[in-house]
Structure 1
Amino acid sequence: MQANFRGSTGYGRDFLEAGYGEWGRKMQTDLSDGVRWLAGEGIIDPARVCIVGASYGGYAAMAGLTLDGDVYRCGVSVAGVSDLRRMVNWEARQENRNDSQTVRYWNRFMGAARLNDRALDALSPAHLAAAADSPLLLIHGKDDTVVPIEQSRVMAEALRRADKPVELIELQGEDHWLSRSVTRRQMLVETVRFLEANNPPR
């Protein structure tokens, strides 16, 4: 199943705009509703589902373990956003503008009323680490200029403080898109290793 959650491109403007303000909300439950549907149809074992994603999907993986509990047995986040307010503030600093197109984009989709809106903390996995109910693997390129590696480091530290199982793998010389074949393969190998350990085949 390919979950085309609201906010996805390729389905018209109304479908895209249906994602505004839905990070951690309906964009997230679109995924878990798909899991529940598959379970209800008898296609999957709901006790053996892991969530893996990159970039926004990395956020969704972390949110799946903190905002949408009891759905996933484990998660893998590759270059994901863990602290929404910190992410938007970082973008504003990068562009030296609080009202840039990029900042407006993030605020619109995340549902922030303004820059540094503390309401985003309630949707940020790094602020909800104590609620994490499954092991998490974080993988991030050290040279990522789209989502800074700080986002994975913050999440790892929050989970460690909460005494939750977490691994962080930092990819040397790698960007947001995993452009180098060596580190892209490393990401895949580490993901398979983690899944086999935390959701082993029967």
Structure 2
Amino acid sequence: MIKEVEMYCRNLLHTTRCKTLPFHNLTHTEEVVLHVNHICNAMDVDQKDKELVITAAWFHDTGFSKTYKGHEEESKNIAIQFLSELGTEEEVIKNICVCIEATKIPQTPTTTLAEILCDADIFHISTPHFYYRKILLRREWEVYCNMSMTDKEWHELNLDFLKNIHFKSTYGKEILEKGKQENIKKVQQILAYYDRE
């Protein structure tokens, strides 16, 4: 199932308006899948559950092909339709949708697998890669959400986001949280520069 899902989602993310999104594009989804795999291995998740959450990862942003706001609902609909055609068990589809729904900000996972997808989706905030990714997100919001702000306002928004979003899985809390705290310090240092002006 995974191979068929990957091919379908790659095609969808590569041929629809998703390909024009600076942040929520195929590259982001590939990274989330990679991070899901990494977290599952670290947490010793069994193969069946791992495949379930990897499937959810491939689908989690496909809804951007239809809408920007509330894309999670569309992502679930796309997953339901495709997986039903594959003959996937209803319970599996339901659990995949639970994972996708949980990635909506503020994240509200209700299962361990949903926690893993949530953490994989924001994995970048625990790495130095965060600074590159947030430039892409800022551009995306300017173009698709008509959100324009000063550099200082952008850094303040990022600081607020970092302080208020929390890793959910045991791996996220024990490992990823450290990197997030480092990024909080860096953003605070950037903002201190503005305060000296």
Same-fold status (TM-score > 0.5): no
Q: What TM-score, normalized by structure 2, do the two folds share?
A: 0.33
* Bigger strand share: 1
TM-score by structure 1 length?
A: 0.32
